[in-house]
């Protein structure tokens, strides 16, 4: 249904069973869209093992290491210690398990964390609340874009020889 509605990707919960995850990834492959395995709330000690259990030909295109900021805030408000919570896990090890797949990070990402995340090996940075909660959305997005090279497709100049004359 997502592919029929022109989706480029489908997010799959990492909390699902291996069989469910593999079936969902198989369907994305049949439809020619990306599979994103969202590891929000999957215990950090088991998600590397869970990824390793997925059949090699059914590995997700992207693994999303998704920190649950709302849950973390609730724990803090209840006086619980969250200092030992790891945000992303071992990105390099995850990429080795994926053998060519991409790793995305999300959850409380701010511009000052971009270099840390990319330095750890993250391929994709997902910025949510920092941008959508801002009074100046354009400036907030530009805060992130300052860390990346400009997209050459957006920098292309139209040349006279590009124009077709009939």
pLDDT tens, residue by residue, 27-55: 999 999 999 999 888 877 788 889 999 99
pLDDT bucket at 78, cuts 50 / 70 / 90: confident
Grouping H, G, I as helix, E, B as strand and the rest as coil, residue 68 is coil
- Which tops the pLDDT comparison, 126 or 151? 126
- Which tops the pLDDT comparison, 62 or 47? 62
Pairing relationship of beta strands 62-66 and 102-106 according to DSSP bridges: parallel
pLDDT at 166 over 60: no
What is the C-alpha to C-alpha distance for residues 148 and 73, in angstroms, rounded to an integer? 30
- Which tops the pLDDT comparison, 22 or 165? 22
Give pLDDT, residue 102. 94
User: Which residue in 65, 70, 72 sits closest to 117, CA to CA?
Assistant: 65
pLDDT bucket at 9, cuts 50 / 70 / 90: very high
For range 86-96, the mean pLDDT: 78
Lowest mean pLDDT among 35-39, 71-75, 96-100: 71-75
């Amino acid at each position: 249904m997502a592919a029929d509605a022109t989706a480029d990707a489908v997010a799959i919960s990492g909390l699902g069973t291996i069989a469910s995850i593999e079936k969902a990834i198989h369907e994305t492959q049949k439809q020619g869209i990306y599979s994103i395995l969202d590891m929000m709330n999957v215990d950090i000690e088991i998600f590397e093992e869970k990824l390793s259990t997925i059949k090699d030909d059914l590995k997700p295109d992207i693994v999303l290491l998704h920190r649950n900021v709302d849950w973390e805030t609730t724990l803090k408000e209840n006086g619980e210690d969250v200092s030992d919570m790891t945000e992303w896990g071992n990105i390099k090890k995850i990429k080795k398990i994926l053998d060519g797949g991409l790793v995305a990070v999300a959850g409380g990402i701010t511009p000052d964390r971009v270099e840390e995340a990319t330095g750890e090996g993250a391929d994709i940075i997902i910025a949510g609340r920092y941008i959508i909660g801002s009074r100046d959305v354009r400036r907030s997005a530009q805060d992130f874009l300052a860390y990346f090279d400009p997209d050459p497709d957006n920098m292309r100049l139209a040349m006279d020889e590009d124009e077709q004359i009939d």
